[in-house]
Structure 1
Amino acid sequence: MKVKKIGIVSLSSGILGEDFIQHEVRLGKERLEKMGLDLVFLPHALKGMDYLQNHPQARAQDLLEAFQDDSIDMVLCAIGGEDTYRLLPYLFEKNELKEAVQEKIFLGFSDTTINHLMLHKLGLKTFYGQAFLPDVCELAKDMLPYTESYFKELIETGTIKEIRPSKVWYQERQDFSEKSLGQAMESYPDTGFELLKGPGKFRGKILGGCIEAIYTIFDNSRYEDTVDLCEKYQLFPKLEDWKGKILLLETSEEKSQPALYRKMVRALKDYGLFDQVQGVLVGKPQDKVYYEDYKKILLEELQDKDLSLVYNINVGHATPRCIVPFGLEAEVDVKDQVIRFES
């Protein structure tokens, strides 16, 4: 399925509507149009941070409309944030999302992990790993080559056939102003997928996302009602749903301290997740901060679990980013440095 029209939604932060970011929005819009794509911003996507913070129902309405609009082939998230769980009552109280959804491409990462779990609950296959503002609107002369190759594959074929490691990783930008337009990011050699434990070849359907976002389903330290709301609408898959799957975990731009990272891993461990999954794929931490610390924690916490643990995947908050299909049968082959997907 070739994508012809993209609908952009702001399901978390409303930053896309702020004046200080319009040079990025224009750049992204031009890039998509050069690819021959039609582009529509859903009605509330550009309303700004304050409005969308105060109106989660407006964000939910945009998601419903994006799925209901038959002309939209791909729903592309603007960026992440931290409170998309607040959309739950407006999407599930009266089966609103269930009645609206149809099979189309949904792409986003970070806090959008929660939206992926919403759509998984309804049986939809989704795509994790890129978003409009951080990827399509990248300030360099062009989209980052590795990132662009996966984005183009998705819009041209409707799926991703395989993921291989990036040869480089990039230091994140500090300056997103117009002064940075056309400026390249600093890059460093990357080292490929790293097998930390278990067999280097395994299969299963991938599900997961940003560990900080997932942790809010189990812990109220960010907002006092996340656990109750997520339990009420049964957002997180039951243990039996994880049987034989591959868990994807990546870390946010918050660069969580190792003590918090251990706490988050333990929350998933206590839930029993690591007793169900075939393997765990772990994204490269942003700017390689706590790279060795996170690795050590995973090995310590999962040493007695019968699973494969693969580190340093180019997905999520570390640049560049691949795109990971959720819900397709995957074969991970660390020796050949590839993850293949069956369509």
Structure 2
Amino acid sequence: MSTETDTGLEIIRDAAPQVLEDTRRRVEPALRIALERLPESVRPVALYHYGWQDAQGNDCDAGRGKALRPALVLLAAAAVDPSHQQERALAAAVAVDLVHNFSLLHDDVMDGDVTRRHRATAWSVFGVGPAVLAGDALLTLALQTLAGAPEAAAVTAEAVQELILGQIQDLAMERKPAVSLPECLAMAGSKTGALIGSSFGLGALSAAASPQQVRLLTQAGRDLGLAFQLTDDVLGIWGDPKVTGKAAGADLKTRKKSLPVVAALTSGTPAGRELARLYQSPIGPAETTRAAELVEESGGRRWALQRAEELLEEVEKALEKGNLAAEGKAGLRSLAHLCVHRQF
């Protein structure tokens, strides 16, 4: 376990909001320029999803994302070489953000989610078809953004393929009566770990990192991605809707086999067995409350939080091995802690 003082960790965590705000200021203008390249038929859906227009096409400022992935790109580049060519890192940051939002548009459709970032999801406003096509357009735009950097484009395309594989596995698990914990971890590693891993890797590439640094940072990003998903799954059950922007217990209502749930179902405990019986039928409000209690009683919540902390330690170790510049490394540490200890 870390020997750092509580005060030291608080300083690291407190830096994260400013890091993300600085990223938004740098990346948002480039993102807006990129979105202007979208076909007029899908641009309103994308601008709505980003929170820059309302459903009627009026300019607004709502539902902003965390800007985590583009921040990781920029910080990884700064950690490798503070004097790197910032244009290359910025293009990679824009591309990663576009890919992430492509996945969110599609996820909301597949999961049937009606709220994201405290507002109605794009598909529930514009329809399934327009939302799916807007997501496709964002993905294409991401690869166009990297057209002048073939290696970065290849890394991004590979991450997207793995992300899609993880989503396929996630959907398949919803139909399977039983899912093992290793199976669920592998799915989460692909669905979430691949893109966060590539965020680290693309930042390193844009700063002309050595192959060893690229591999080290990419693996650190993959570990952080899995930690992020573990925390996300905990928030999907116990998160405050006013903070998360999603309905309370949303994952349980849809009987989603998230990581804490699978840990509970495979725990061999009486609570885990009761949860398995509960998951065999539709879940209403009363069953949602009981399901959350059972996941906690069986140790699913405790396991997820502990595993996230273990992965955070692995990320910390990797950052110390990478021969990285202090400022970029400090920023990466602050965001890593935010991923694991966030409430949104």
Same fold, TM-score > 0.5, yes or no: no
Which has a greater percent of helix? Answer: 2
The alignment's TM-score, normalised by the length of structure 2, stands at 0.28
The alignment's TM-score, normalised by the length of structure 1, stands at 0.29
Which has a greater percent of strand? Answer: 1
